[in-house]
Every structure is written in structure tokens, then in C-alpha cells.
Structure 1
Amino acid sequence: MHRVSTEASGSKPLLAVRGLEAWYGESHVLHGVTFDVPAGEVVTLLGRNGAGKSTTLKAIIGIMRRRKGSIRHAGQETIGLSARAIAKCGIAFCPEDRGIYSSLNVEENLRLPPVVRDGGLSVEEILDMFPNLRERLKSQGTKLSGGEQQMLAIGRILRTGAKLLLLDEPTEGLAPVIVQQIGRTITQLKERGYTIVLVEQNFHFASTVADRHYVMEHGQIVDMMTNADLGASAEKLSRYLGV
């Protein structure tokens, strides 16, 4: 396999991942993952199922118990920190399963995560961004529709003050009109100065919100392309993704 440049040119990246390895038990699943996330960009991890995309997010946030390599956030090495300490650095993770607590209503779910830094959105600002939730504040979190649960999962991490957001498959299983709303939300967050790493199977959606795309295969980054390059790279991308 030819070597590709997976490091962004220009200013120092907000997130710099170098030689990241990770294991599930004895299973070695990430093999030297290296990529950059410039501040203020939306970056996607693309690839087929099992390529290591979600595992990469879990390794960055510290959920993977066995990992090695280097993960630098705003110049600080985080590879040796716990998930709690990493969150306090200003990184937030929205998991694929959304992690909504069934015993809590919408408002309680929104207020659950601790504020780790100044600058997080207030509950009122979150409800302005997701007006559907305003009408459901006293509803049990898991009684919401799939789209509303995704809005709640994203809204919840915006309270924390984190400026680097890791979003795992935010559009999976959602109706097209909700996918469009999630896309508008990601665009709004970028305009507010957030940096986002997005794992997404829906490439057509990813191409509407992202600045650059990293392609993963077999636990490695094998290519990078900017959104402006997608037209010229369509055939190559189809081979990678099998679309």
C-alpha cells in the first residue's frame, strides 16, 4: 500500500493522532492510526463496517482500556489520561447508541453531564437549537423518536463546554428530514467555533458538512481528501467504500 499524507498542512492542529494502536482484549484493532484535525473544521472518518472508525473515537476519548501511541489535544498529550480527565480537557463524545438514560426525562438527561469548561451552551440555547426537545422536556428520554434522541444526545454534550466533539454515526437510522436537521446543526456548531470529528456511513451526508475526509481500512488511515477533491476522487472513493 502506498503511503499517503494524513497530516494537515498549515497551523498546528487542535487534535493530532500519531501511531495510535488499540486492542479489544487480545484482538488488535487499530494499527498505527495517524491523522490531524485542524481547529474549526469538520472532519469525517469514512470506511466500511469494521474498518476501525468508531474504535478510533473511543480510543481518543479514553474508553478503550488498552491503547498506545500519541493523541495530542491543543498540544497536550492525552494517551495516558482517563476518560474523565480527557473530558475535562474539552473533548466530548456522542456515542452511536446515544446513551440516553431511560430513568431520566429530557431535561434531566440534558443537565446530567458536568460542565468541564466555560463557554458551554445553556439549556435554553440548546432548546433553541433543537425546538422539538422544548415540547418534550418532561418526557422520558427513551420515549422520544430516534431523531429526538439524537438531538438530545448532541445537545447534552454542548452544555459541557467541550469544543472538540466526537460524533459517532449521528444520522444512522434517521428519516431524511431529520438527517437534514442534523446537518444544519453541525454547520451551526462549526460557525460557533466547534471542531468536529464525525464517523458517518452516509457519505453523501458527510460530503455536505465536512471539510476533509479520512478513509480507514483494516484499522489504518489509508487516504485523505478534502471536500474540494471529492469530484476528482469519486471513483477511488467508491472502491474504498464499496458504494
Structure 2
Amino acid sequence: MLEAVAETARAPSGGTSCYLSVENLQAWYGDSHVLHGMSFNVQKGEVVTLLGRNGAGKTTTMKSIIGLIQKRTGSIYFDGRELIKLPPRAVARAGIGFCPEERGIYSSLSVRENLLLPPTISDGGFTTGQVLDLFPNLRERLQTVGTKLSGGEQQMLAIGRILRTGAKMLLLDEPTEGLAPVIVQQIGRIITLLKQRGYTILLVEQNFHFASSVADRHYVVELGRIVDMFRNEELDANQEKLKRYLGV
């Protein structure tokens, strides 16, 4: 099965080149070997999820792509450029924005200051006004410091901050974690809207039902490697297999 999944990662449908291509990615925390040959791809304009139990290696994959894991080998191509040896600042300037699970909001800065802090890396990003139109909750909180924002507001701010930079691919790690259902629905609508606007999104999610509502394809991660891939329209026919993989 692993060989078939790897072949899918190398040969995307339609014969087009991959926007993001990860091949045989290995990663370590110190002496602990965490990723064992991750191979997958994401096409331009797709929303793709990494699904799996806690500790499977999903977040480590995200951090390896953005360059936060120093000890890594393999290949990470983004928009035709090899990233594996680049530091995080260079990966970000190549057009990838990372929203970590902890959101990374500067607690002592206001919403406005958090939004304006990252540099613009390319044309075509959201203006501050467009970010506030997308997340109207933030408009009323512009002078509020990060420590006084709700979890949902912090998530909106973390995503909006990336959109303002001009990044064209978003890495979202557990964007619905700990959020109220109404906020989860709002995040889902935002992801759908960004896809319609041409953004490419790689999503780590524990909430399988949320993932299935927004994504085109789903990779299953176990023990630091891809073990299966499902297109969204194939999920109903593979419920039993998914339950075994995810325990849902």
C-alpha cells in the first residue's frame, strides 16, 4: 500500500506539476527519528489535509516544510524551488505562511500591531481593510492586546496576519482546536473562500468532520509516513478503513 500511495504523490492527476511536493522527508528531534519518508503532493488551489492520531508526525511535517526542524533530509519543492536547505525566513519569503497550533500571537501587542508586524513578501496580499472585512470581529478589537482575545479571535488574527503578507500557500495546524462550533463554522467558510480566491492550503486537523467539509484530498499519517490517501468524494465508501486509521 505504501508504494501505491507514494506513486500517487509523484504522479498528480491531470499531468500538471505539483505546487508543493514532499519526497522522502525524514526529520529528527535530537536523536529521536520522527518522520520516516513522508511523501505527498499538493496541487495549486487545493485544500489538502494530513489526518492521523496524536503523535503521528503531522505537526512535525508542517514544521519541517517551513524550516523549523533543523535536522531533516529529503526534498521539499514549492513552486519549482527546493526548500530543504533554506531557513524559515527564506521559506516564508518564497510564499508559504505557517499558522501554528498555538497561533503565535504576540500577547503584548494590539490586534493592529500584530497584523502589521510581518513584512510583505509579494504583491497581491490582503490589505488591512480586507482582512478586517474577512474577520469583522477583529475590527472591533483593533486596539485590544493579544492576551485579551478569545481563542477564536486569536485564530482569525493568526490567519489574517499571513494573508496580509502576500503568501500564496497556507499551512494551518489544528485551526479549529478548542474553538466553539460557531467559530469552527466560520473558519470553514473562510477556508472555502480562500480556496475560491486561489489560495493553496495544507491543513492538519483532528476534527475529521471539519476536514471533510473543506478539503479536496486527505492523506493519512501513521508513524511518520503516509499510509493512505483519499479524495473527498471517496470518504463515504471508506468509512470503516478511516475508523481503523483514526479511531473515529
What band does the TM-score fall into relative to the shorter chain? Answer: over 0.9
In the TM superposition, residue 3 of structure 1 has moved relative to its aligned partner by 2.9
Structure showing the higher helix proportion among its residues: 2
- Pick from 173, 193, 202 the counterpart of residue 197 of structure 1: 202
Alpha-carbon distance in 2 for matches of 1:144, 1:18:
39
1:145 aligns with 2:145: no
- TM (normalized to structure 1)? 0.98
- Pick from 15, 37, 40 the counterpart of residue 42 of structure 2: 37
Q: What letter corresponds to residue 59 of structure 2 in structure 1?
A: S
8 Å contact from structure 1 (residues 142, 149) kept in 2: no
Q: What letter corresponds to residue 104 of structure 1 in structure 2?
A: L
Match of 1:167 in 2: 172
- Say which is worse superposed, 9-18 or 194-203, in terms of deviation: 9-18
Aligned pairs (5 A) from 1:148-227: 148-227=153-232
Between the two proteins, what is the percent identity of the paired residues?
A: 70
Q: Deviations over 1:125-147 (max 9, x none)?
A: 00000000000000011211110
Alpha-carbon distance in 1 for matches of 2:168, 2:138:
22
3-state SS of 1:180 partner: helix
- Pick from 29, 51, 60 the counterpart of residue 55 of structure 1: 60
- TM (normalized to structure 2)? 0.97
Alpha-carbon distance in 2 for matches of 1:57, 1:135:
32
Q: What letter corresponds to residue 68 of structure 1 in structure 2?
A: T
Alpha-carbon distance in 2 for matches of 1:9, 1:2:
18
Match of 1:4 in 2: 4
Q: What letter corresponds to residue 230 of structure 1 in structure 2?
A: L
Alpha-carbon distance in 1 for matches of 2:31, 2:148:
38
Match of 1:122 in 2: 127
Alpha-carbon distance in 2 for matches of 1:102, 1:94:
16
Q: What letter corresponds to residue 41 of structure 2 in structure 1?
A: D
Q: Deviations over 1:146-177 (max 9, x none)?
A: 10110001000001111010000000000000
8 Å contact from structure 1 (residues 4, 222) kept in 2: no
